[in-house]
Amino acid sequence: MANIESRLADLGLTLPAPKPAVANYLTTKRSGDLLFVSGRVSRLQGVVGADVIFEQGREAARDTVLDLLATIRDDLGTLESIASVERLHGFVRSAPAFTQQPAVLDGASDLLVALFGEAGRHARTATGTNQLPFGAAIQLDLIVRLDA
């Protein structure tokens, strides 16, 4: 039991306090065996390739996964009911010439794989954008599959 919590501890990571939804939506919505996880922006603000450097963006992507997991744990009561991570969509607020969105989002994907193993490997889309809520550098949303 509590494998994911153990792995977090093994990696020296702790989940932050869950952040509430910032507007009139649910942080997660269960739909059959799928859980749609609402978009979460990074605490880090700025434009990757301008005032935010690549390494900061990558770290912010990892930290945003911790925020997403904190939310899921808060909503479900546990992370252990996650059977598989199906899909990640990441938006990177990008300077006009910045084109390494996939490598930035590996900060998120690497952590999901480290925590969930093979079940954490997921389909992904990495998109640039000119602006995100609150001026954040990164935005991530997830679709995960829950144990039936």
- Residues that bind a copy of itself in the complex, under the rule CB under 8 A: 22-29, 31-34, 36-39, 84, 86-89, 91, 93-96, 98-103, 105-106, 109-110, 113, 121-135, 139, 141, 143, 145
Smallest gap, in angstroms, from Cβ of residue 62 to a copy of itself?
Answer: 12
Smallest gap, in angstroms, from Cβ of residue 60 to a copy of itself?
Answer: 16
Q: Which is nearer to a copy of itself, 5 or 124 (CB)?
A: 124
CA distances, 133 to each of 103, 105, 130 (Å): 22, 18, 11
Packing angle between helix 54-76 and helix 101-116, nearest 10 degrees?
40
Smallest gap, in angstroms, from Cβ of residue 59 to a copy of itself?
Answer: 15
CA distances, 82 to each of 2, 57, 108 (Å): 11, 26, 17
